[in-house]
Chain A
Amino acid sequence: MTTAAALFRTCPATGLKVHLPAQGLIKINAVTAIVFLLVGGIVALTLALTRWQAVHLLNDEWFYRMLTLHGIAMLVAWIVFFEMAVLYFASAILLNTRLAVPWLAWTQYVLMFVGAAMVAVEILLGRADVMFTSYVPLQADHWYYLGIILFAVGAILGCVVFFATVNAARVEKTYEGSIPLVTFGAAIAALIAIVTLAHGAAAFIPTWLWALGLVPMMDAEIYRLLFWGFGHSTQQINVCAMVSIWYLLGTLTVGATPLNEKVSRSAFVLYGLFIMIASEHHLLVDPGLSAAHKSWNTGYFMHLAVLASMIHAYSVPAATEVALRKQGYTKGLFEWLKKAPWGNPAWSSLFISLVGFGFIGGITGVVYGTEQINIIVHNTLAIPGHFHATVVVGTTVAFMGVTYYVLPLIFQREVAFPTVARLQPYVFGLSMYVVCIGMIIAGRFGVPRRSWDMNGVDGPFQVSFDPIVDMALAVTGIAAVVAVVGGAMFCAVAVGTLLVGKKIEG
């Protein structure tokens, strides 16, 4: 028993038992995630300064190369490494149990790290100028595809470890009743992840074999269908993980209790059942699929997954309101909101993430995913405007917010540079609001996404845009620089805490 007990410590703040091997894995995945965030952020700066036409920093070749790297470093590496940390936290820590099969979890880490590093090196060597989507017949070096496959296999192993841990907790009775809501949400995210990664295998394994010259090329439209079964559904994992983090932050910051477990859990089940079928909204203006097929698929079966988000959009802030009113902030309609802990970066992150995800990302997502409206926005800059509001303002800000608790609870250090930490969500989150809105405006005037130069300097004809576009892109560029500063502030606080943060005993 002594050896088993030595593997645990008790968290003085929450009373939860912390399994030390789980803690080590949470740490390494989170740190790696933040390193990729740093890389992706530096790359983002070069991109914003190129699309801001007055600066136009990079040449065409390096612009497309950096754009490919930005997508991989942020959307794949930063978010998925962090999600692995979330999965291990939501299983081993919240269920008071041991992380099942730690060696498998280490295999997850090694595979994902090797895969991400291979992909990054291939891109930097100029052997994979294919964008995040790598639509065939564009072809990258075969090592690029292998890197993505290794990364995906690692992520699947992480999900397996998660479910094995939940099962171990159930068998060993380390909790009573039903698993916590946060763990439930993480479980739905992990289920979506497994289905998603299967689509990734279907898209990338044949493409890898094609790059090796072993099989003929897959049909370009079928590749697009399979790729988005992976590429978009991955974002649904992010949504699910982000909403779980919202509930977690509500509890950690103001002691919120879910209004109704039945409603919140049912909403997660709606994600599990219906959010998977929406990926054809990337193909709304493609040949190859009937309108009935597209409407059915992108309608999320009557938008029931959107309904789930609408439910969370009510129950998360309402739960925090109830908690704050219980603390005595009962005057008028909004005293609770005024007296909320706005100086706590985790709380401000929660609100910035919630409001930005819903009002910018969610609304544009539903509108642009409508078949006929998609005709006027497809592949314009409005699309990156939409998804930066979901994955950056939504997921990334939520993940940053929870980091302010992961540092003391898991790394056992007080957050360093508290003033920087207090300001960071505002600097990063609010400037990202502006970045998203700037891109959406430019896109609505027809500015294409993924274009080094929209004016046609290298083409037979020139294009002149409405002057509003110049202003929108300049504002986007300036706001992006501020956002990169906000991202750097986050990295400085995280790294500073690890290096010089005061140790917390316990």
Chain B
Amino acid sequence: MSIYAVKPGWWNTPVHREEKIWIGVALVWCIAITLIMPVWHVVGDQNSSQEYYRISGDNYAALTDAFIEQYKVGEVQGIAVVAPPPGSDIFLRGAQWQWDPILKLTQGATYRLHLGSVDMVHAISIFPININFEVVPGYDYVLTITPTSAGEFRVICNEFCGIGHHGMIGKLIVDPA
């Protein structure tokens, strides 16, 4: 009975065979699901980034502004559209409650995508392919990305960042190669 004190000697009660098998199988499975994380860093195509730098919001904003000025090709809804060359460093800025600029990328090319916030904690969710990363003020988070499918994507903020949070929706364009 689990509600009464147990008499000395309980430690020496043998464990049933079935229970031992269950624990053994569970342990093997536990070790397997733990190892999948480091193993995937070697064999997998999609992993989280380990590259990040500390940066102030002002400095991140300045970097993004310079990037926009260099590669701007147009404007949609008052947000700059930027077409950087393959292989370049590209910047996405989160601010209450807008993502800018609109990035225009090329399918199959590789970029170094910088994510940063100038105010609150935000998070990007690339819709509809469901890739999600946290965007934290004070950090320049660098993801090396290669868009594998062309089309127009949405950049949804999915970390609560104030009452206007749900309106924080940006756009990402990938042109076919």
Which chain A residues have a beta carbon within 8 Å of chain B's beta carbons? Answer: 14, 16, 60-61, 64, 94-95, 129, 131, 133, 135-138, 175-182, 219-221, 224, 247-248, 250-252, 255-263, 283-288, 290-292, 294-295, 298-300, 302-304, 306-307, 310-311, 314-315, 318, 366, 370-372, 374-380, 444-446, 448-454, 456-463, 465-466
State whether the Cβ of B83 lies closer than 8 Å to any Cβ in chain A. Answer: no
A63 to B13, CA, bound (A): 55
State whether the Cβ of B176 lies closer than 8 Å to any Cβ in chain A. Answer: no
- Most A-side CB within 10 Å, residue of B33, B130, B156, B160: B160
Q: Determine if A260 and B77 form an interchain contact, defined as CB atoms under 8 angstroms apart.
A: no
A463 to B157, CA, bound (A): 12
Residue in B76, B133, B166 whose CB lies within 8 Å of A375: B133
State whether the Cβ of B177 lies closer than 8 Å to any Cβ in chain A. Answer: no
Q: Determine if A221 and B3 form an interchain contact, defined as CB atoms under 8 angstroms apart.
A: no
Residue in B5, B44, B127 whose CB lies within 8 Å of A180: B5
Q: Determine if A221 and B139 form an interchain contact, defined as CB atoms under 8 angstroms apart.
A: yes
Chain A residue nearest in CB terms to B160: A450
State whether the Cβ of B80 lies closer than 8 Å to any Cβ in chain A. Answer: no
Residue in B10, B37, B166 whose CB lies within 8 Å of A372: B37
Chain B residue nearest in CB terms to A293: B50
Given contacts A219-B138, A262-B10, contact A375 B46 (CB under 8 A): yes
Q: Determine if B158 and A14 form an interchain contact, defined as CB atoms under 8 angstroms apart.
A: no
* Chain B proximity of A476: nearest CB distance (Å): 18
Across-interface contacts of B163 in A (CB, < 8 A): 60-61, 64, 129
* Chain B proximity of A361: nearest CB distance (Å): 16
Interface residues in B20-43 (C-beta closer than 8 Å to A): 22-23, 26-27, 30-31, 33-34, 36-38, 40-41
Q: Can you give 10 A-B contacts (C-beta < 8 A)?
A: A180-B1, A181-B2, A220-B137, A261-B6, A285-B48, A287-B134, A295-B37, A310-B26, A378-B134, A457-B166
A252 to B127, CA, bound (A): 50
Seed contacts A220-B137, A372-B37; 12 additional CB < 8 Å A-B pairs: A286-B134, A287-B141, A294-B48, A306-B33, A310-B30, A370-B33, A380-B158, A445-B130, A456-B166, A458-B167, A460-B170, A463-B169
Contact size range, B: 35 or more
* Chain A proximity of B123: nearest CB distance (Å): 5
Across-interface contacts of A250 in B (CB, < 8 A): 2
Q: Determine if A304 and B30 form an interchain contact, defined as CB atoms under 8 angstroms apart.
A: yes
- Most A-side CB within 10 Å, residue of B139, B141, B167: B167
- Most B-side CB within 10 Å, residue of A256, A456, A461: A461
State whether the Cβ of B64 lies closer than 8 Å to any Cβ in chain A. Answer: no
A318 to B123, CA, bound (A): 44
* Chain A proximity of B168: nearest CB distance (Å): 7
Q: Determine if B16 and A377 form an interchain contact, defined as CB atoms under 8 angstroms apart.
A: no
Across-interface contacts of A133 in B (CB, < 8 A): 160
Given contacts A262-B10, A303-B34, A379-B159, contact A288 B136 (CB under 8 A): yes
Given contacts A263-B23, A380-B132, A459-B167, contact A366 B3 (CB under 8 A): no
State whether the Cβ of B120 lies closer than 8 Å to any Cβ in chain A. Answer: yes
Chain B residue nearest in CB terms to A181: B2
Across-interface contacts of B136 in A (CB, < 8 A): 220-221, 224, 286-288
Residue in A176, A221, A314 whose CB lies within 8 Å of B5: A176
A462 to B171, CA, bound (A): 10
A179 to B40, CA, bound (A): 44
Across-interface contacts of A295 in B (CB, < 8 A): 34, 37-38
Q: Determine if A262 and B138 form an interchain contact, defined as CB atoms under 8 angstroms apart.
A: no
Residue in B5, B49, B130 whose CB lies within 8 Å of A446: B130
* Chain B proximity of A406: nearest CB distance (Å): 13
A138 to B160, CA, bound (A): 9
State whether the Cβ of B73 lies closer than 8 Å to any Cβ in chain A. Answer: no
Chain A residue nearest in CB terms to B132: A378
Chain B residue nearest in CB terms to A451: B166
Q: Determine if B13 and A262 form an interchain contact, defined as CB atoms under 8 angstroms apart.
A: yes
Chain B residue nearest in CB terms to A255: B1
Q: Determine if A302 and B167 form an interchain contact, defined as CB atoms under 8 angstroms apart.
A: no
Q: Nearest 6 A-B pairs (CB), nearest first?
A: A458-B167, A287-B52, A448-B158, A303-B30, A459-B169, A310-B26
Q: Determine if A311 and B26 form an interchain contact, defined as CB atoms under 8 angstroms apart.
A: yes
Given contacts A287-B134, A375-B132, A379-B158, contact A452 B6 (CB under 8 A): no
Across-interface contacts of B161 in A (CB, < 8 A): 138
A469 to B17, CA, bound (A): 46
* Chain A proximity of B146: nearest CB distance (Å): 15
Q: Determine if A446 and B6 form an interchain contact, defined as CB atoms under 8 angstroms apart.
A: no
Given contacts A299-B37, A370-B37, contact A135 B46 (CB under 8 A): no
Residue in B27, B138, B140 whose CB lies within 8 Å of A220: B138
- Most A-side CB within 10 Å, residue of B15, B123, B163: B163
Q: Determine if A446 and B10 form an interchain contact, defined as CB atoms under 8 angstroms apart.
A: no
Q: Determine if B120 and A177 form an interchain contact, defined as CB atoms under 8 angstroms apart.
A: no
Residue in A138, A298, A453 whose CB lies within 8 Å of B166: A453
Q: Determine if A178 and B47 form an interchain contact, defined as CB atoms under 8 angstroms apart.
A: no
Given contacts A135-B159, A178-B5, contact A446 B139 (CB under 8 A): no
Across-interface contacts of A176 in B (CB, < 8 A): 5, 7
* Chain B proximity of A306: nearest CB distance (Å): 5
Chain B residue nearest in CB terms to A460: B77
State whether the Cβ of B19 lies closer than 8 Å to any Cβ in chain A. Answer: yes
Q: Determine if A261 and B13 form an interchain contact, defined as CB atoms under 8 angstroms apart.
A: yes
* Chain B proximity of A199: nearest CB distance (Å): 19
Across-interface contacts of B85 in A (CB, < 8 A): none
* Chain A proximity of B104: nearest CB distance (Å): 15
Residue in B6, B37, B98, B134 whose CB lies within 8 Å of A177: B6
Q: Determine if A463 and B5 form an interchain contact, defined as CB atoms under 8 angstroms apart.
A: no
Given contacts A182-B3, A287-B136, A461-B77, contact A445 B167 (CB under 8 A): no
A374 to B160, CA, bound (A): 18
Q: Determine if B52 and A448 form an interchain contact, defined as CB atoms under 8 angstroms apart.
A: no
State whether the Cβ of B165 lies closer than 8 Å to any Cβ in chain A. Answer: yes
Across-interface contacts of A371 in B (CB, < 8 A): 37, 40, 47-48
State whether the Cβ of B106 lies closer than 8 Å to any Cβ in chain A. Answer: no
